[in-house]
Amino acid sequence: MKEEIMTALQKSADTRFKLLKLAGFAVMGGIVGYGVGWLLVDYVELPALDGLGWSDAVALIVAMMLAAGGLSVLAASRNGRALAAATSADAPAGPTEVRDMRLQGAVLVLSGLLLLRRLWRSCPATPPPS
Over the stretch 56-106, which tens digit does the pLDDT of each residue have?
878 888 998 999 999 988 888 887 777 777 776 777 777 888 888 899 999
CB 64 within 8 A of CB 70: no
Task: Check pLDDT > 80 for residue 47.
Answer: no
Distances (CA, A) of 73 to 104, 112, 117: 8, 14, 21
Model confidence at 4, in pLDDT bands (50, 70, 90)? low
Reported residue count of the chain is 130
What are the helix and strand counts (H, E) for the chain?
Answer: 4, 0
Q: Which residues, other chains included, contact 79 with Cβ-Cβ below 8 Å and sequence gap of 6+? A: none
Task: Check pLDDT > 70 for residue 2.
Answer: no
Distance in angstroms (rounded) separating the CA atoms of residues 45 and 86: 40
Instruction: Using alpha carbons, select from 104, 123, 101 the residue that is nearest to residue 112.
Output: 104
Residue-level pLDDT at 40: 79
Q: Which residues, other chains included, contact 59 with Cβ-Cβ below 8 Å and sequence gap of 6+? A: 115, 118, 119
Percent with pLDDT over 70 in the chain: 78
Mean pLDDT of the chain, nearest integer: 79
Distance in angstroms (rounded) separating the CA atoms of residues 111 and 65: 10
Residue-level pLDDT at 78: 82
CB 66 within 8 A of CB 112: yes
More confidently predicted of 2 and 46: 46
Distance in angstroms (rounded) separating the CA atoms of residues 73 and 105: 5
Residue-level pLDDT at 107: 95
More confidently predicted of 117 and 85: 117
